[in-house]
Amino acid sequence: MYEQSFPQQPNNQQPQHPYQQQPYQQGPPPPQQYGQQYGQPQGQPYQQQPQHPYQQQPYQQGPPPPHLTAVAPRIPEPANDMRRIGAVTLDGLLTLTVIFGGFRALSGSDLPFLKELLIVVGSGLGFAFLNHVILARISGASIGKFAARTRVIYEKTGTRPGLPRLFRRWLGGYLYIAIWLIAALMDSADEGPDDFCGVRLVRYRDLRAAAQMQGR
């Protein structure tokens, strides 16, 4: 009974060990989809999960607060011609008074007439500069404008003009008024000189009302 022969295997094929590691073969993917993994029904597209209520939202800039909103300045209307003429007349009389006082003070001196004239005219121009430029920069008005209850402002912002602007207005004012007087004598000027150099003559009452409306 030991003579029964077993079937022979080919010589080129070795018998496979029962515990020998088999080569890796990639199989079909599992049937589970992403929708099933996150609780979505199979066959429907993935939907974004609702946002957490305490999750930080992106910053969106809103309108500025009311106290930071810029308010356009309220510019008062120009003063009427009567106040303008009254202020110019009083300032002119004060300048002439200074010039006349200079002549009286130098009348008994031995200086040449031309030198006396230069000193007197220089004193008048110096007083006018202090009155129309320096005093107007400090207080907003000359002596004549104080008497007429008016002030000078920068017509674009409503604030007090600076020294360069007041200086240009003072120099150009003499030529401007001279041209207006000549035109008035020829009956071709119906109104006084307009504002120029960006300086406006306004009533003091209107200027205070505009400042109160803007909370200044």
Q: Specify the pLDDT at position 166.
A: 93
Look up residue 118 and give its amino acid: L
Q: Specify the pLDDT at position 3.
A: 46
Percent of the chain at pLDDT above 70?
A: 59
Answer yes or no: is pLDDT of 6 > 50: no
CB 131 within 8 A of CB 143: yes
HSE, side-chain direction, 13 A CA sphere, residue 183: 12
Q: SS3 of 195, please?
A: coil
Confidence of residue 188 (pLDDT cuts 50, 70, 90): low
- For the stretch 66-76, pLDDT in tens is 555 555 667 88
**152 φ/ψ angles, rounded to the nearest 5 degrees:** -105, 140
**79 class by beta-carbon count within 10 Å (0-12 exposed, 13-18 middle, 19+ buried):** buried
Across all residues in the chain, what is the average pLDDT?
A: 75
List b or e across 131-168, with b for residues whose CB sees 16 or more CB atoms inside 10 angstroms: bbbebbbeebbbbbbbebebbbbbbeebebbeeebbbb
Q: Specify the pLDDT at position 17.
A: 52
- For the stretch 37-64, pLDDT in tens is 445 455 555 555 555 555 555 556 666 5
Query: Averaged over 132-154, what is the pLDDT?
Result: 95
Residue 154's nearest CA partner among 125, 121, 197, 102 is: 197
